[in-house]
Amino acid sequence: MPDTSRHPLPCDGDRETLKADWHEIAPHTHPDAVTALEVAATREPNLLPSGAVTEIPVQSGAISDRWTHRLTMCDPTAAHAVLTQDDKAQAFFTDPLTESPPSARG
């Protein structure tokens, strides 16, 4: 029987190191990376590379329109899996300037 008296494990480490580690895990595709980011999203969402989930309406001529044209298609990563929250996304993108992983939902 495992000893669960010390769970959940304390997380009182350096926040900048933890944030850097989440940024390193986010682009991976391994299922363990997805699981780790899902846990992080529920406990420390402000440390994730993508930040909070935000819906951005795209309007012709607006800044959001220019931003969407800058995005490039990519294969899904752990960060995409967490952002889409099990929705069926039709395409996956990344912002080449910020390396943020927005996803388009169909």
- To which residue do tokens 């008296």 refer? 5
Best CA proximity match to 91, nearest among 76, 70, 69 = 76
Q: What is the tally of structural domains in the chain?
A: 1
Domain membership of residue 2 (yes or no) is: no
Domain membership of residue 10 (yes or no) is: no
Best CA proximity match to 9, nearest among 1, 18, 52 = 18
SS3 sequence, 23-49? HHHCCCCCHHHHHHHHHHHHHCHHHCC
Per-residue pLDDT tens for 67-99? 888 889 888 888 888 877 767 778 888 888 877
Domain membership of residue 64 (yes or no) is: yes
CA dist 36 and 51 (Å) reads 15
At 105 the pLDDT is 45
Whole-prediction pTM value? Answer: 0.62
Question: Is residue 100 packed enough to be buried (19+ CB in 10 Å), middle (13-18) or exposed (0-12)?
Answer: middle
At 26 the pLDDT is 85
- Host domain of residue 37: 15-49+59-105
Domain membership of residue 72 (yes or no) is: yes
More confident residue, 6 or 35: 35
